Amino acid sequence: MGAKSSSHSFEHQDDRVEPSSAQRRQQTRPRFLPLSYATTKPFHKFSFKRKRSSRDKVKPFKEMLDGWTFEELNKLIAEFKTLQSLRMLRDDADSARPSTSTLGEQLLEHASNYGNLTITFKRTNFEVKAIRCYISNRSDVIARLAAEPTSELIELQPPEGTSHEQIKTFFDFLYTDIWSGDQSIKEKLSQWLGCSRSRKRDLMRIKTKGATEGDIRLCIARNGQNVEEAHSSIRCHSSILSARSPFLHSLLSKGQDDRLVLDESLLPAAFLSALVHFLYTDELDLGLIEDYEPSQSSLSQAKAIVSGKYPEGILLGTTHFYHIAKFFQLDKLAQLCEDTILASLNADSCVMILNWAIEGGNQFVYAKAQRFLEEEFSRIATSHQLFDIPFESMKAATKSLFIQATEVEILECAIRWGEHEMIKRMEEREPNVVCETAHSISRRGVKRADLDGAELKEILAPLTENIRTQYVLPPFHQTLNSAYKRGILERVSALCDPQNERDARKKSPVEIHPDIDWFEPGQTVPGPRCFTPYYETALSKLDELLHKEPRNSLAQLQAKSDNEFPLKLRITNNMKLLLSNEIFDEVSDKIRESLAREDATYGIRSFPRYFHRQAAVKYITQRILRENDISSECICVELLDRECSESLPDLLDNKEA
Distance of CA 418 to the CA centre of its chain: 25
For residue 75, pLDDT over 90 is answered with yes
H or E stretch covering 218 = strand 216-221
Comparison of pLDDT for 274 and 431, the residue scoring more: 274
502: pLDDT confidence band, cut at 50, 70 and 90?
very low
For residue 562, pLDDT over 70 is answered with no
468: pLDDT confidence band, cut at 50, 70 and 90?
very high
What is the spatial distance between Cα 291 and Cα 134, in angstroms, rounded to a whole number? 31
Q: Are strands 153-156 and 117-121 parallel, antiparallel or unpaired?
A: parallel
Neighbours of 370 (CB within 10 A): 24
Tell the burial category of 539 from Cβ atoms under 10 Å away from its Cβ (0-12, 13-18, 19+).
middle
Tens of pLDDT, residue by residue over 599-618, are 999 999 999 899 999 999 99
For residue 558, pLDDT over 80 is answered with no
| Average pLDDT of the segment spanning 562-578 | 87
345-363 CB burial, b ≥16 within 10 A, e <16: beeebbbbbbbbbbeeebb
Q: Give the per-residue pLDDT at 67.
A: 86
Comparison of pLDDT for 441 and 237, the residue scoring more: 237
- Spatial CA neighbour of 199 closest among 181, 220, 174, 217: 174
For residue 516, pLDDT over 80 is answered with yes
Tell me the backbone φ, ψ of residue 609, rounded to 5 degrees: -120, 150
For residue 649, pLDDT over 70 is answered with no
Q: Give the per-residue pLDDT at 187.
A: 94
For residue 80, pLDDT over 70 is answered with yes
Give me the torsion for CA of 457, 458, 460, 465, rounded to 10°: 90
For residue 469, pLDDT over 80 is answered with yes
User: Taking all residues of the chain, what is their mean pLDDT, rounded to a whole number?
Assistant: 82
Q: Give the per-residue pLDDT at 25.
A: 44
Q: Give the per-residue pLDDT at 410.
A: 96
Q: Give the per-residue pLDDT at 431.
A: 60
Q: Give the per-residue pLDDT at 226.
A: 60
For residue 504, pLDDT over 50 is answered with no
Range in 235-249, 386-400, 490-504 the model is least confident about:
490-504
**386 contacts 417 by C-beta, under 8 angstroms:** yes
Question: Which CATH code fits 103-196?
Answer: 3.30.710.10
Mean pLDDT highest for which of 113-122, 248-257, 287-296?
A: 113-122
Range in 17-31, 238-252, 397-411 the model is least confident about:
17-31
- Spatial CA neighbour of 413 closest among 385, 458, 455, 382: 382
Distance of CA 652 to the CA centre of its chain: 16
Q: Would you give the end-to-end CA distance of the chain in angstroms? A: 41
Q: Give the per-residue pLDDT at 428.
A: 75
Q: Give the per-residue pLDDT at 222.
A: 80
Q: Are strands 446-447 and 16-18 parallel, antiparallel or unpaired?
A: antiparallel
Q: Per-residue DSSP letters for 585-644?
A: HHHHHHHHHHHHHHHHHH-GGG-SSHHHHHHHHHHHHHHHHHHTT--TTTEEEEEE-SS-
Tens of pLDDT, residue by residue over 349-386, are 999 999 999 998 899 999 999 999 999 999 999 999 99
Comparison of pLDDT for 647 and 22, the residue scoring more: 647
H or E stretch covering 328 = none
Q: Give the per-residue pLDDT at 294.
A: 54
Residue 496's alpha-carbon distances to 102, 259, 475, 501, 515, in angstroms, are: 57, 73, 17, 8, 16
For residue 448, pLDDT over 80 is answered with no
391: pLDDT confidence band, cut at 50, 70 and 90?
very high
Q: Give the per-residue pLDDT at 557.
A: 55
Tell me if the bond preceding 474 is cis, omega within 30° of 0: yes
Tens of pLDDT, residue by residue over 230-254, are 668 899 999 999 999 999 999 998 8
Comparison of pLDDT for 646 and 592, the residue scoring more: 592
Q: Give the per-residue pLDDT at 445.
A: 55
Tens of pLDDT, residue by residue over 143-185, are 999 887 777 889 998 888 888 899 999 999 999 999 988 999 9
| Average pLDDT of the segment spanning 80-93 | 97
Range in 104-113, 281-290, 446-455 the model is least confident about:
446-455
571: alpha, beta or left, given left = phi > 0 and alpha = psi -120 to 50? beta
21-58 CB burial, b ≥16 within 10 A, e <16: eeeeeeeeeeeeeeeeeeeeeeeeeeeeeeeeeeeebb
